[in-house]
Amino acid sequence: MTKSVIIGAVLIGVLVLVAVFVLPNGEADPEVPPENGNGEQVAQAEYVGSDSCQGCHSEAYAGWLQTEHPYMIQEADEIWPEAAAALEEALADPESEFVEIGRGHGRIESLDEIQYVVGQRWKQRFVVKTEEGFAFLQSQYYPLGADGPGLYVYGAGRIYEDRCLACHATGFDLEAANNLDRTADDYRLESVTAELGVGCEACHGPGSIHAGSPAADNIQNPRDHSTQAQNDFCGFCHARNNGHVELEGREDPVGYQVGGDLRDVTRPLSLATGENVWRMVIDDETEGYYDREEEGSMRFFADGAARSHRMAYNDLEQNNEKFAAMSCIDCHNPHSENSLTADSFDELCAQCHDETFDIDEIMPLRAMSSNTPDIRTHTFFPGGVGNPNDDVIPMAVPPSDID
């Protein structure tokens, strides 16, 4: 199986939803219970964990374990030996930036300070506890880096609970995260989540009632919603944005209701509409599109194709025809190791295209999960060229290109 097939598990963007039945403050809304696509109200329920699904859905459960979703955050003992060795080497160098936490949090002195790791297949990041909460080291281990396997500088010091945990765990409790004593010895991410990683209930909602009395109308099925709602559903965690609509500083979809509008919750970077992006112009030529006017990162190449990972939605939205007609889950299966609804790209694409369809022409590897282009563009235009919007406001001040 090729890397380009497997990489779909990273691109998938399929159905990552957390706290589907809560308000932005983390509390359930008893007046507005969620509905399934048949218009029937889905009863409020509690989280019971993905293991509870295994008995009746063994095949889906086994497939889910082969995707990246369960490993979006996991215990520190899952760190790769190669990554641990590289970090040990960095610890021995007092000047190494790889063991810095960043943002005023200092550096670690021992691997024992790493409490969680993110990722299992393509890269790993490392999470440590600070007085403000859990934060990332400013490095990641990347086995396929342009300069070979090893640690690469990537991000620094972001507090997980305050920015992004809702996309990496199931049942994130925002109220608890805002009110618990994060300096307490027993404070852990399990204190504010129902399950580490993206579990079954991240997509299907709390499952206690369904587990007790299985029925189609007491569990959430994203397929019951419109095509755009399905794409928005995937886009909550697989669309780059420049912030939450209501909660300053957040970049995850806390408060989203299945079937809702993505733009009610986050501000997606959109070349299709010109929203939330700024165009870098040098000598009358567009150099790229950034996520902020100042101190931002270039998220789209000059031709409009996504430059960063987790942007399949931002790509697809540029193709109005495909966005209206194709759901992410027409092509992607969240219960499959290769994430596709067929065994290969050739087999998948042949369902609608003849043998002249060239996946490497229409969906070239352009976006980068680290410093290597290894993610296929989703604009579906020849050559991967999107639909850049020249009406996007040029930047007043050139930004620094940071990730």
How confident is the model over 260-286, as pLDDT tens digits?
A: 899 999 999 999 888 999 999 888 888
The answer on 245 and 276 residing in a single domain is yes
Range of the domain at 177: 50-221
Compute the C-alpha angle 146/148/150, nearest 5°.
110
- Whole-number Å distance between alpha carbons of 258 and 35: 8
Considering 221, 249, 278, which residue would you say is the last residue of a domain?
A: 221
Lowest mean pLDDT among 48-57, 321-330, 392-401: 392-401
The answer on 166 and 69 residing in a single domain is yes
The answer on 205 and 56 residing in a single domain is yes
Please, what's the b/e burial string for 222-243 (b: 16 or more CB within 10 A of its CB; e: otherwise)? bebbeebbbbbbbbbbbbbbbb
Considering 221, 254, 281, which residue would you say is the last residue of a domain?
A: 221
pLDDT of residue 384: 63
pLDDT > 70? residue 353: yes
- Whole-number Å distance between alpha carbons of 98 and 116: 16
Quickly state the pLDDT bin for 44 (edges 50, 70, 90): confident
The answer on 265 and 186 residing in a single domain is no
Closest among 53, 21, 13 to 172, alpha carbons compared? 21
Asked if residue 252 belongs to a domain, the reply is yes
Using left for φ > 0, alpha for ψ between -120 and 50, and beta otherwise, residue 283 falls in: left
Asked if residue 264 belongs to a domain, the reply is yes
Considering 201, 221, 241, which residue would you say is the last residue of a domain?
A: 221
Please tell me which of 42-46, 127-131, 144-148, 285-289 the model is most confident about, judged by mean pLDDT. 127-131
pLDDT > 90? residue 111: yes
Asked if residue 326 belongs to a domain, the reply is yes
Asked if residue 393 belongs to a domain, the reply is no
pLDDT of residue 200: 95
pLDDT > 60? residue 27: no
pLDDT > 90? residue 16: no
Averaged pLDDT of the chain: 85
Number of other CB atoms surrounding residue 91 within 10 Å:
16
The answer on 243 and 205 residing in a single domain is no
pLDDT > 60? residue 170: yes
Better-predicted residue by pLDDT, 59 or 44 = 59
What is the rounded average pLDDT of the residues 17-29? Answer: 39
Lowest mean pLDDT among 130-134, 248-252, 294-298: 294-298
Asked if residue 32 belongs to a domain, the reply is no
The answer on 230 and 266 residing in a single domain is yes
pLDDT > 90? residue 71: yes
Better-predicted residue by pLDDT, 58 or 154 = 58
pLDDT > 50? residue 161: yes
Asked if residue 397 belongs to a domain, the reply is no
- Whole-number Å distance between alpha carbons of 351 and 357: 11
pLDDT > 80? residue 162: yes
| Alpha helices per DSSP H over 336-393 | 345-349, 359-362
pLDDT in tens, 201-237: 999 999 999 999 999 999 999 899 999 999 999 998 9
3-state SS, residue 312: helix
Closest among 158, 155, 135, 139 to 96, alpha carbons compared? 139
Quickly state the pLDDT bin for 18 (edges 50, 70, 90): very low
**Dihedral (CA of 398, 401, 402, 403) sign:** positive
Asked if residue 392 belongs to a domain, the reply is no
Quickly state the pLDDT bin for 24 (edges 50, 70, 90): very low
- Whole-number Å distance between alpha carbons of 73 and 50: 15
Asked if residue 177 belongs to a domain, the reply is yes
Q: In one letter, which amino acid is 83?
A: A
Quickly state the pLDDT bin for 178 (edges 50, 70, 90): very high
The answer on 58 and 176 residing in a single domain is yes
pLDDT > 60? residue 82: yes
How far does CA 37 lie from the centroid of its chain?
24
The answer on 191 and 119 residing in a single domain is yes
The answer on 371 and 358 residing in a single domain is yes
Q: In one letter, which amino acid is 100?
A: E
The answer on 371 and 229 residing in a single domain is yes
Quickly state the pLDDT bin for 259 (edges 50, 70, 90): confident
Number of other CB atoms surrounding residue 58 within 10 Å:
10
The answer on 61 and 142 residing in a single domain is yes
pLDDT of residue 283: 86
pLDDT > 70? residue 7: no
The answer on 147 and 64 residing in a single domain is yes
Number of structural domains in the chain: 2
What is the rounded average pLDDT of the residues 39-53? Answer: 79
What is the rounded average pLDDT of the residues 2-12? Answer: 37
Residue 227 and residue 334 in contact, taking contact as beta carbons nearer than 8 Å: no
3-state SS, residue 252: coil
What is the rounded average pLDDT of the residues 49-72? Answer: 95
Please, what's the b/e burial string for 254-290 (b: 16 or more CB within 10 A of its CB; e: otherwise)? bbbbbbbebbebbbbbbbbeeebbbbbbeeeebebbb
Quickly state the pLDDT bin for 102 (edges 50, 70, 90): confident
How far does CA 217 lie from the centroid of its chain?
28
